[in-house]
C-alpha cells in the first residue's frame, strides 16, 4: 500500500479558493430594481413588524412610485414597536393625494337633511319646535293663609308667560281684613323679567299700591344668594315722588322628602314722610314668619302651619302710638302654597 503525503500549503490554498468562490458569484449579481415589482396580491395581514427597527435602513435609491399596493391588507399589522422619530418626510409631495373620501368637505347627495326630516313631510301638525323656542307659562301661590290674631287673610300670587331668557311677570301681594270694613291692602306689579346671571334675575315695570292709592314705576332684582337663600329687592317710585324699598329673604330647610321648615323675613323702607298714609322716613316695618310645610302631589301642593311676627321700626313706632295702633303683633297662621 502506497501512502501519498500532501503538504499543508496545498490544503490551505484549496480552502481559500472554496471560500472565495461564492463571494465572486455574489459580486457578479446586478443591482436589483424593485420599481416594477407588483405586490398587489401579497397578504401582509399576518406580518408582525413590532420588533423591526427601521431607523438604520438606507433606502434612498429605491423607487416605490410604480408599486401597486391596492390589494394589501394592513388592518392587522402591528406597528406599535416601530420608531418613526428619525424619518424625514419634508420632501414628500402631497399635492396629488386624493382625500375627497375623508371627513369634511362637501356633503354627499344622500346626506341627512338639516331638520332631520329626511324628506318626510310633517303632516297636519306642521314643523316641530325646539323646547327652547316654545313659550311657556306658570302660576305660583307662595302664600295663601289666615292669621288668627289679626283676623286677616294674607296672599302672595305670581304668574308668568314667556321663554327662559325673557318673560312677562305679574305678581300681587297683600292682606284682606275678614272683619269690620274688610279693607284690602295690596301691591300689584306687571314687569318684564330677564336673567342677569346664573343666579340672579332682573325685573322692570309698573305697579299700583291700593294702600297709598298711587301708581308707581318699579325695578328690582331677585335670585339665590350663597347658602341657597332666596333673596329679592324691589324699588317703587310713586307718582308723588315717594320711593319705597322692599327687601326679602327666605330659606328652605328640608327635613326630609316632604317636611320643610321655611323661615322668612321682610323689611320695608320709605324715602320721605307721609302722615296721611302713616308712613315715616326710613325703615318702617319688619315682618318675620316661620312655617312648617308638608309637600305632596309631586311637591305642587304644600299646606302649612306657622307663627308670624310684625313690628314697627324707627319713627314709625311713635307714629303708631299717636294713632293708638299696635307696635308689635304676633299670630298663629295656617294656609297652603301651590303652583301649576
Report the CATH number at residue 315.
2.40.160.40
CA neighbor of 308 nearest in space, from 334, 278, 270? 334
Give per-residue burial for 137-168: e unless 16+ CB within 10 Å, then b: eeeebbbebbbeebebbbbebbebebeeeebe
C-alpha grid cell, residue 121: 313631510
pLDDT, averaged across the chain: 80
Residues, the chain: 340
Lowest mean pLDDT among 181-185, 199-203, 289-293: 181-185
Domain count, the chain: 1
Identify whether 161 is part of a domain.
Answer: yes
Is pLDDT of 18 > 60?
Answer: no
Lowest mean pLDDT among 100-104, 238-242, 334-338: 100-104
C-alpha grid cell, residue 320: 303708631
- By residue range, what is the domain housing residue 259? 133-339
Percent of the chain with pLDDT over 70: 63
Identify whether 73 is part of a domain.
Answer: no
The model's confidence at residue 26, banded by pLDDT at 50, 70 and 90, is very low
Amino acid at each position: 500500500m502506497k501512502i501519498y503525503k500532501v503538504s499543508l500549503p496545498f490544503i490551505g490554498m484549496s480552502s481559500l479558493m472554496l471560500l472565495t468562490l461564492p463571494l465572486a458569484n455574489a459580486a457578479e449579481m446586478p443591482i436589483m430594481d424593485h420599481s416594477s415589482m407588483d405586490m398587489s396580491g401579497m397578504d401582509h395581514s399576518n406580518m408582525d413588524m413590532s420588533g423591526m427597527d427601521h431607523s438604520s435602513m438606507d433606502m434612498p435609491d429605491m423607487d416605490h412610485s410604480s408599486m401597486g399596493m391596492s390589494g394589501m391588507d394592513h388592518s392587522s399589522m402591528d406597528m406599535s414597536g416601530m420608531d418613526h422619530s428619525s424619518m424625514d418626510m419634508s420632501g414628500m409631495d402631497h399635492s396629488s393625494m386624493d382625500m375627497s373620501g375623508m371627513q369634511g368637505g362637501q356633503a354627499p347627495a344622500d346626506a341627512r337633511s338639516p331638520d332631520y326630516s329626511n324628506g318626510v313631510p310633517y303632516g297636519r301638525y306642521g314643523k316641530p319646535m325646539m323646547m327652547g323656542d316654545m313659550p311657556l307659562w306658570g302660576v305660583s301661590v307662595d302664600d295663601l293663609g289666615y292669621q288668627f290674631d289679626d283676623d286677616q287673610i294674607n296672599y302672595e300670587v305670581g304668574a308668568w308667560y314667556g321663554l327662559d331668557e325673557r318673560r312677562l311677570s305679574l305678581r300681587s301681594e297683600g292682606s284682606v281684613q275678614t272683619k269690620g270694613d274688610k279693607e284690602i291692602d295690596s301691591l300689584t306689579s306687571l314687569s318684564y323679567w330677564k336673567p342677569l346671571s346664573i343666579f340672579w334675575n332682573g325685573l322692570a315695570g309698573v305697579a299700583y299700591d291700593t294702600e297709598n292709592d298711587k301708581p308707581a314705576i318699579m325695578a328690582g332684582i331677585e335670585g339665590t344668594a350663597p347658602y341657597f337663600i332666596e333673596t329679592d329687592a324691589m324699588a317703587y317710585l310713586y307718582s308723588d315722588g315717594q320711593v319705597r324699598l322692599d327687601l326679602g329673604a327666605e330659606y328652605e330647610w328640608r327635613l326630609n322628602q316632604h317636611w320643610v321648615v321655611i323661615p322668612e323675613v321682610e323689611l320695608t323702607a320709605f324715602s320721605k314722610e307721609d302722615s296721611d298714609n302713616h308712613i315715616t322716613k326710613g325703615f318702617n316695618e319688619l315682618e318675620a314668619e316661620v312655617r312648617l310645610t308638608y309637600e305632596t302631589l309631586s311637591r305642587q301642593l304644600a299646606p302649612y302651619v306657622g307663627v308670624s311676627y310684625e313690628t314697627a321700626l324707627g319713627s314709625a313706632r311713635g307714629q303708631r302710638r299717636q294713632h293708638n295702633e299696635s307696635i308689635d303683633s304676633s299670630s298663629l297662621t295656617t294656609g297652603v302654597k301651590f303652583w301649576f
